[in-house]
């Protein structure tokens, strides 16, 4: 094959590019990355995609099975529930709540957590010790239990669930940021930068931060998966999104009574939740793998 | 070693302090009157209210209130539940064994399945066996636990009719609760036809145990796999191999022990997952444990119960974590050198 490169110079990929190409060569992770993109697309454009509104009731078509069964109707692709609401539309709107809100909550938690973590990571002595103990305490309480407690104080409801999940996620970001920063600060290039006269802020911004971005993205995928599980679990327990809301967990708990009559109302939201969690987890795993094989 | 122990104990005390302060402030944060929230007695006359306020030291500054609260907690006086109007400590002793029982079975199942599979996957790194085990565990890790529980009920209880849906024992059998552990209670009771009762209790256990064991098993597989891989790459394995040990001897004498040790401190994470999953599992299968109790309390706005359950469960988790750290340092000499923990 002819060499099109007329310059006598090799291109070396930068660290980000290297991670990216490693990530792309991991096929399951790459497929799941597209799946995540698909979920984001659905969450963003739910009103355009969904055939009906999430609340629209069709009294003439209650408890229709999915359209591939003989009793099904093709105008309700995944069937309907006991009030005649289209399951597909509800799942699509549910993506907005369970998946979309999880992404946003994790993002906000990341911004707050990284700021606090940078503070904790850069400080030394008593202040940092107090910080560590405080966050270790919070981390030793299981995330869902903490979320349940916060909901118990604030009262049930979707917005309180979001606050609870946010408060649960922030310490995790603080913890991982602090550890990443402290590991980075021990390295020699930071000492070199310090000898050049860089102050704390410059070291943090120019030396440390670009090197921990990937760790933070990894933590972000973990946080998103925790957020999805927690929001859905609280919805399922009846402490989060209220009955009637198209949130996936709440949809499941609503259909428990119909489990024998209409099992698709249990299986299909579960499958959707499972796919979203699997894709987020696999992307996170692929990323961790890419980072590891890059450093080897 | 003593310094290490002291540091761990220090951590334990600080953590318990933070948790108790949080739990104390909940009594003021919850809607309603602090005296009612702390004591759990809702219908009080004015005289009783004043007496109780004095007794709980709620008319004094927060510091004094906190120490009075701490004293009550240490004595085991948690007040009364709003809904059942019984002592919370009695209630807790009724539900706690059920959770422990379920969790112990689940963790045993997880250990029996997770460790061998993790070992196998780690030894056959990047071979087909490893890929199959690893993909299966990733998939199982992503299934929401409440959905698994429902699917199991749908399949085994409703469609096949093999296993009971909920509870710990068929209502036909009336077993007086002595210890709260169902098998011990059956052994202590003087009921006829004990084998049938045992079988019934066992059948009730299967579905909740499987549901609860799923997530810890996948975590264990992942931990064990990476631990085995790092052990297999170490120098002493190479040395043992050059000495001519057979593959089986190598694994039995060197790999297993050294791979299990580093994952011991990660068991804290395992117990956290177990605790969270246990709450949801108990909710699905109406298992009368701590999680079911707590969630019921939230539905009924039973603030004294919520406050106490939070305190005890988190203190228990912290205690378990520190205990694991200490056990780990007793077993693993490498950590002992690192006294700062």
Contact A145 B279 (CB under 8 A): yes
* Residues 6+ away with beta carbon under 8 Å from A141: B19, B272, B314, B317
Distance from CA of B27 to the nearest CA of A (A): 10
pLDDT at A72: 80
Q: Which residues of A155-190 are buried (b: 16+ CB within 10 A; e: fewer)?
A: ebebebbbebbbbbbbbbbbbbbbebbbebbeeeeb
pLDDT at A126: 66
Higher pLDDT, A10 or B261: B261
User: Which residues does A contribute to its contact with B (CB < 8 Å)?
Assistant: 28, 133-134, 136-137, 140-145, 148-149, 151-153, 156, 225, 229, 232-233, 236-239, 249, 252, 256, 259-260, 263, 266-267, 270, 273-274, 277-278, 281-282, 285
Contact B15 A137 (CB under 8 A): yes
Q: Please report residues of A whose CB lies closer than 8 A to that of B273.
A: 142
**For A142-178, what is each residue's pLDDT tens digit?**
778 888 878 877 878 888 899 989 988 988 888 888 8
What average pLDDT does range A206-233 have in this prediction?
A: 89
**For B222-255, what is each residue's pLDDT tens digit?**
889 988 888 888 888 888 888 888 888 888 888 8
Asked whether B314 and A140 are in contact (CB, 8 A), the reply is: yes
Contact B299 A263 (CB under 8 A): no
Length of chain A measured in residues: 296
Q: Which residue in the block uniquely carries the two structure tokens 């440390």?
A: A208
Give the span between the Cα atoms of B113 and B219, in whole angstroms: 11
Q: What's the token pair of residue A8?
A: 């006598």
Contact A278 B139 (CB under 8 A): yes
pTM attached to this predicted model: 0.85
Tell me whether B117 touches chain A (CB under 8 Å). no
Computed over every residue of chain B, the mean pLDDT equals: 83
Q: Please report residues of B whose CB lies closer than 8 A to that of A31.
A: none
Q: Please report residues of A whose CB lies closer than 8 A to that of B298.
A: 148, 151-152, 156, 239
Give the span between the Cα atoms of A159 and A175, in whole angstroms: 25
Give the span between the Cα atoms of A145 and B309, in whole angstroms: 10
Find which of A236, A260, A289 to mutate to test the B interface (most B CBs within 10 Å of its CB): A236
Nearest to B165 by CA among B178, B153, B150: B153
Q: Which residue in the block uniquely carries the two structure tokens 């408890």?
A: A63
Banded pLDDT at B291 (limits 50, 70, 90): confident
pLDDT at B336: 64
Query: Which DSSP category does B162 fall into?
Result: -
Q: How many CA atoms lie within 13 A of B107 on its CB side?
A: 15
Computed over every residue of chain A, the mean pLDDT equals: 85
Banded pLDDT at B335 (limits 50, 70, 90): low
Q: How far is CA A43 from each of CA A47, A98, A133, B165, B313, rounded to the nearest angstrom?
A: 9, 9, 38, 35, 37
Tell me whether B19 touches chain A (CB under 8 Å). yes
Of residues B142, B283, B318, nearest to A274 (C-beta): B142
- Is the pLDDT confidence value at B203 over 60? yes
Q: Please report residues of A whose CB lies closer than 8 A to that of B139.
A: 278
Give the span between the Cα atoms of B136 and B177, in whole angstroms: 40
Q: Please report residues of B whose CB lies closer than 8 A to that of A249.
A: 144, 146
Tell me whether B14 touches chain A (CB under 8 Å). yes
Q: Please report residues of A whose CB lies closer than 8 A to that of B275.
A: 142, 145
- Is the pLDDT confidence value at A139 over 80? no
- DSSP codes joined into one string, A46-77: HHHH-SS-TT---TTSTTPPPTTSTT--TTST
Higher pLDDT, B168 or A208: A208
Contact A232 B144 (CB under 8 A): yes
Contact A137 B14 (CB under 8 A): yes
Banded pLDDT at A2 (limits 50, 70, 90): low
Contact A270 B11 (CB under 8 A): no
- Is the pLDDT confidence value at A136 over 70? no
Contact A149 B306 (CB under 8 A): yes
Q: Please report residues of A whose CB lies closer than 8 A to that of B145.
A: 233
Contact A233 B146 (CB under 8 A): yes
- Is the pLDDT confidence value at B43 over 80? no
**For A12-46, what is each residue's pLDDT tens digit?**
778 888 888 888 888 888 999 999 999 999 999 98
The neighbouring-strand residues paired with A86 are: A80
SS3 at position A246? coil
What average pLDDT does range A240-251 have in this prediction?
A: 86
Distance from CA of B272 to the nearest CA of A (A): 5
pLDDT at A13: 79
pLDDT at B341: 43
Asked whether B291 and B281 are in contact (CB, 8 A), the reply is: yes
Could you give all domains of chain B from N- to C-terminal order, each with its CATH number?
89-301 (1.10.3720.10)
Could you give all domains of chain A from N- to C-terminal order, each with its CATH number?
39-53+69-295 (1.10.3720.10)
**For B176-202, what is each residue's pLDDT tens digit?**
777 777 777 777 777 777 788 888 888
Contact A149 B142 (CB under 8 A): no
Instruction: For chain B, give the percent of residues with pLDDT over 90.
Output: 7
Give the span between the Cα atoms of A260 and A18, in whole angstroms: 51
- Is the pLDDT confidence value at A102 over 90? yes
Distance from CA of B189 to the nearest CA of A (A): 35
- Is the pLDDT confidence value at A219 over 70? yes
Residue of B nearest to A274 (CA): B143
Tell me whether B214 touches chain A (CB under 8 Å). no
Contact B310 A140 (CB under 8 A): no
Calculate Rg over the CA atoms of chain B. Answer: 24
Contact A274 B29 (CB under 8 A): no
What was the ipTM of the complex prediction?
0.82
Asked whether B144 and A275 are in contact (CB, 8 A), the reply is: no
Contact A266 B294 (CB under 8 A): no
Instruction: For chain A, give the percent of residues with pLDDT over 90.
Output: 24
Banded pLDDT at A280 (limits 50, 70, 90): very high
Q: How many CA atoms lie within 13 A of B195 on its CB side?
A: 0
What average pLDDT does range A53-80 have in this prediction?
A: 85
Q: Which residues of B88-122 are buried (b: 16+ CB within 10 A; e: fewer)?
A: beebbeebbbbbbbbbebbbebbbebbbebbbbbb
Banded pLDDT at B213 (limits 50, 70, 90): very high
Q: Please report residues of A whose CB lies closer than 8 A to that of B283.
A: 237
What average pLDDT does range B22-51 have in this prediction?
A: 81
Under 8 Å CB pairs connecting chains A and B tally to 110
SS3 at position A78? coil
* Residues 6+ away with beta carbon under 8 Å from A48: none
**For B136-153, what is each residue's pLDDT tens digit?**
988 888 888 888 888 888
SS3 at position B56? coil
Tell me whether B294 touches chain A (CB under 8 Å). yes
**For B103-119, what is each residue's pLDDT tens digit?**
999 999 999 999 999 99
Asked whether B287 and B209 are in contact (CB, 8 A), the reply is: no
Give the span between the Cα atoms of B101 and B97, in whole angstroms: 6
Residue of B nearest to A151 (CA): B298
Asked whether A188 and A124 are in contact (CB, 8 A), the reply is: no
Higher pLDDT, B38 or B110: B110
Instruction: For chain A, give the percent of residues with pLDDT over 70.
Output: 92
Residue of A nearest to B131 (CA): A28
Of residues B15, B18, B26, nearest to A153 (C-beta): B26
**For B64-106, what is each residue's pLDDT tens digit?**
888 888 888 888 778 888 888 788 888 888 888 888 889 999 9
């Amino acid at each position: 094959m002819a060499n099109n490169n007329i310059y006598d110079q090799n291109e070396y990929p930068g660290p980000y590019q290297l991670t990216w190409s490693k990530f792309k060569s991991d096929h399951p992770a790459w497929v799941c990355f597209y799946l995540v993109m698909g979920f984001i697309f659905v969450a963003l454009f739910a009103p355009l995609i969904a055939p009906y509104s999430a609340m629209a009731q069709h009294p003439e078509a209650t408890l229709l099975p999915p359209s591939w069964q003989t009793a099904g109707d093709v105008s309700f692709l995944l069937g309907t529930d006991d009030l005649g609401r289209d399951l597909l539309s509800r799942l699509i709107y549910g993506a907005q709540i369970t998946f979309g809100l999880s992404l946003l909550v994790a993002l906000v938690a990341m911004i707050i957590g990284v700021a606090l973590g940078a503070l904790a990571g850069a400080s030394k002595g008593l202040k940092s010790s107090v910080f560590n103990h405080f966050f270790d305490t919070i981390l030793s309480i299981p995330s869902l239990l903490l979320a349940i407690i916060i909901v118990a104080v604030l009262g049930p409801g979707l917005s309180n669930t979001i606050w609870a999940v946010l408060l649960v996620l922030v310490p995790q970001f603080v913890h991982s940021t602090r550890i990443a920063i402290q590991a980075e600060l021990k390295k020699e290039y930071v000492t070199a930068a310090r000898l050049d006269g860089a102050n704390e802020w410059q070291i943090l911004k120019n030396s440390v931060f670009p090197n921990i971005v990937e760790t933070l993205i990894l933590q972000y995928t973990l946080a998103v998966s925790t957020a999805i599980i927690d929001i859905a679990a609280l919805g399922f327990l009846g402490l989060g999104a209220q009955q009637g809301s198209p949130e996936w967990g709440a949809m499941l708990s609503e259909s428990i009574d119909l489990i024998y009559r209409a099992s698709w109302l249990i299986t299909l939201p579960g499958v959707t939740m499972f796919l979203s969690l699997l894709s987020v987890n696999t992307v996170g795993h692929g990323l961790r793998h890419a980072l590891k094989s890059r450093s080897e | 070693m003593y310094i290490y122990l002291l540091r761990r104990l220090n951590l334990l005390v600080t953590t318990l302090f933070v948790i108790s302060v949080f739990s104390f402030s909940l009594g003021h944060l919850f809607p309603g009157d602090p005296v009612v929230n702390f004591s759990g007695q809702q219908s009080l006359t004015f005289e009783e209210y004043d007496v109780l306020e004095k007794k709980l030291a709620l008319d004094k500054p927060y510091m004094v209130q906190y120490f009075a609260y701490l004293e009550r907690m240490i004595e085991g006086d948690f007040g009364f539940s709003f809904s059942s109007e019984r002592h919370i400590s009695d209630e807790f002793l009724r539900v706690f064994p059920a959770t422990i029982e379920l969790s112990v079975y689940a963790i045993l199942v997880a250990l029996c399945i997770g460790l061998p599979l993790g070992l196998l996957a780690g030894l056959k790194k990047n071979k087909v066996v490893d890929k199959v085990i690893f993909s299966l565990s990733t998939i199982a890790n992503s299934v929401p636990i409440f959905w698994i529980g429902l699917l199991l009920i749908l399949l085994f209880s409703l469609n096949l009719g093999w296993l009971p849906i909920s509870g710990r024992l068929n209502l036909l059998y009336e077993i007086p609760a002595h210890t709260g552990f169902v098998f011990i209670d059956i052994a202590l009771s003087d009921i006829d036809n004990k084998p049938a009762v045992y079988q019934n209790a066992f059948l009730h256990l299967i579905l909740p145990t499987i549901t609860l064991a799923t997530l810890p098993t996948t975590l264990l597989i992942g931990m064990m796999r990476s631990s085995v891989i790092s052990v297999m790459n170490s120098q002493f394995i190479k040395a043992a191999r050059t000495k001519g040990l057979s593959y089986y001897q190598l694994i039995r004498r060197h790999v297993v022990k050294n791979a299990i040790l580093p994952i011991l401190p990660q068991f804290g994470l395992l117990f956290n997952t177990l605790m969270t999953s246990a709450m949801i599992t108990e909710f699905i299968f109406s298992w009368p444990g701590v999680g079911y109790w707590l969630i019921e309390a939230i539905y009924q706005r039973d603030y004294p119960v919520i406050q106490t359950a939070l305190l005890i469960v988190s203190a228990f988790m912290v205690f378990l974590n520190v205990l694991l750290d200490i056990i780990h340092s007793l077993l693993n000499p490498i950590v002992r050198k690192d006294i700062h923990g």
